[in-house]
Chain A
């Protein structure tokens, strides 16, 4: 999917990235108690800017913890939960944009019937 989808514009790519970020944040939350695990996140702006197929993998960065723990785990549950909730809302937002687009196209196809 390219960044300039003729029907959905950037929103198709945005939804894909939101989905990938959902999985990444779920990974972080799942590994909240794993020694040595380093939390990662997607740099959304950079991923959106790169129109390449695999932009998300290149824009994945390690999270810098507010306070590091002794076992080398850099997951901070409060941070991850907040990011996860934010990402879920943004996913819904992108879905709303897509729904609006579909509704608009359908109205145009039906000629305002």
Chain B
């Protein structure tokens, strides 16, 4: 019997997918946000997944949450209350379409892991009833 059970594998994968969903939510929430300087502008977050091997089986963990390197968009808007001396503001560089795709994929993979867990559960319960 190895250290990881099917429930560990699927459970940790679901936790990782939830982190991914949280970053998508965070990115989408800040999609239109504007900041007064380039440094303080919002940059999209991306989780970095890594496999964890134990006894021949593998589950997944979030290694870290990386910050996107895409530079914020500079927009000339002197009337904006956050505008700097040059009349510029910086808008978060979030690709909304990409985030929506990411969200759909996350939901799909989360559901897959639930399905794995449900199947494993019924199989184990059937095994418990063996011979009865």
* A-B complex is real: yes
* B residues apposed to A, CB below 8 Å: 2, 4-6, 9-10, 12-13, 17, 20, 49-51, 56-60, 105, 108-109, 112-113, 115-116, 119-120, 123, 126-127, 130-131
4 smallest A-B Cβ distances: which pairs? A30-B13, A102-B131, A27-B58, A34-B49
Chain A residues with CB under 8 Å of B12's CB are 30
Q: A4 at interface (Cβ–Cβ under 8 A)? A: no
Q: A9 at interface (Cβ–Cβ under 8 A)? A: no
Is A22 a contact of B123 with CB atoms below 8 Å? yes
Q: A3 at interface (Cβ–Cβ under 8 A)? A: no
CA distance A102 to B12 in the complex (A): 37
Q: A32 at interface (Cβ–Cβ under 8 A)? A: yes
- Max chain B CB contacts within 10 Å: which of A24, A26, A99? A26
The chain A residue with its CB closest to the CB of B109 is: A32
Is B123 a contact of A30 with CB atoms below 8 Å? no
